[in-house]
Every structure is written in C-alpha cells, then in structure tokens.
Amino acid sequence: MPDQDVEITIRPMDIDDLAPAYHLGEKLFTLSAFPNLYRIWDEYEIIDFFHDSSDYCFSAFADSKLVGFLLGTVIEKTKKRKYGYLVWTGVDSDFGRLGIASQLFDAFKELCVEEQVSMIIVDTQADNYTAIDFFTSKGFGDAQDHVYLTLDLRRDDDPRRPVREGE
Ligand SMILES: CC(C)(COP(=O)(O)OP(=O)(O)OC[C@H]1O[C@@H](n2cnc3c(N)ncnc32)[C@H](O)[C@@H]1OP(=O)(O)O)[C@@H](O)C(=O)NCCC(=O)NCCS
C-alpha cells in the first residue's frame, strides 16, 4: 500500500514519460481482463498520441514514480463543434482510489473547456465496471450500445480469407 502522504503531481506528458507510461499501459491494457477490442496498446499508440496531440496527454507521479497517465485528443467535426476524446487512461493498481485518475481527468477537462470543446467522449468495454464507475463519477452518462462483430480470416473455409505466402 502506498503511503497516504505520498505527493501526487500531474503534469503534461514529457518524452521521458513515454517508456514508463507504455509499460504501465502494458500491465493495464494487455495483461488485464479489459483489452480494448478496436485499439491495440502498443508502443506506436503512445508515440502517435504524443506526436499528434501531446497537449492532451498527461502524466501522474507519486513522488518521482510515474503511476498514471491519460491520452486524449480533440476532434473538430465541423467548424462549430469540437469534441474531446479521452482514449486511454490508467493508474497503477497500487495507487488506485487516491483520486489520481480524477486529477488526470480534471487536467484534460480544463484544457477542453479552454479550447471550447462542447462534449467529451469516452468508451470502454461493457464489462469494465471500474472504468464505468469512474467515468460515471466524473459526470458521464447517456451510455450508447455499440456492437462489434468479427470475421475470422484465418478460417480455411472462408472464401474471403487472404491467400498467405507459401500456400
Ligand atoms: C479506472 C481507473 C483509471 C480509475 O483510477 P483511480 O485513480 O483509481 O480513480 P479515482 O481514485 O480518481 O476514482 C474516482 C472515482 O471513480 C470511482 N471508482 C474508481 N475506481 C473504482 C473501483 N475500483 N470501484 C468502484 N468505483 C471506482 C469512484 O467513484 C471513485 O471515487 P471514490 O474513490 O471517492 O469513491 C483505474 O482503475 C484503472 O487504471 N483501470 C484500468 C484501466 C482502465 O480500465 N482504464 C479506463 C478505460 S481507458
């Protein structure tokens, strides 16, 4: 258990944070029960976010250890409407329920307000109850169902299966 007096700091993500954030994400998103079906957590994901929208990426530290991060972006759908999209956020489970994800979210939200974003969107797996509780606690609602279908292209009898080298 972390010391309750541990000092938590939130700041914009820095290049030195990419490796520890990537490894934390590996623990949370690839080894956990909640992989995101349509986004894959790999090193390109965090590098792309940092490259394309670093203003909307934040890191959380407990003393000097990176214990959380948030990767977001802002999408301009039409000239009039901007949407904030919180794509990945995660906190080291040893530091859970200390308000760290809340502080990361507040930093992202504050920036969205400054940017005159009209709505923030998040998505998560339907059985990721922790994330749903977290987002609900931040005021999110109006959950929409979204159904993913899959077509397994490795099935031999599937006529659309691409022919692989050597076949
Ligand atoms: C979801 C997650 C980011 C929350 O991080 P956190 O730092 O523990 O969250 P906070 O301490 O800011 O919690 C704020 C509120 O969210 C809710 N909440 C957070 N964790 C919860 C849990 N395990 N069970 C129920 N509610 C929870 C509570 O309402 C909490 O307020 P409270 O502690 O005063 O009751 C973290 O559990 C996590 O990294 N999960 C795995 C990755 C993931 O699913 N990310 C989200 C999708 S990208």
In 3D space, the residue among 21, 77, 12, 27 whose CA is nearest the CA of residue 46 turns out to be 21
Indicate the burial class of 140 (C-beta count within 10 angstroms; 0-12, 13-18, 19 or more).
middle
Q: Give the chain's domains with CATH numbers.
A: 8-137 (3.40.630.30)
Atom of ligand 1 nearest to the CA of 91: 39
pLDDT tens profile 15-44: 999 999 999 999 998 765 555 556 788 899
Beta bridge partners of 6: none
pTM: 0.90
In this predicted model, what pLDDT tens digit does every residue of 76-100 receive, in sequence order? 987 789 999 999 999 999 999 999 9
Q: Where are the alpha helices (DSSP H) in 64-124?
A: 100-114
Q: Kindly tell me the sign of the dihedral angle through the C-alpha atoms of 95, 49, 103, 37.
A: negative
pLDDT tens profile 98-142: 999 999 999 999 999 999 999 999 998 888 999 999 999 999 999
The confidence score (pLDDT) of residue 98 equals: 97
Ligand 1 atom 22 nearest Cα? 130
Ligand 1, CB cutoff 6 Å, lining residues: 28, 34, 88-91, 96-102, 124, 128, 130-131, 133-134, 137
Q: Give dist(CA 6, CA 90) in Å, integer.
A: 18
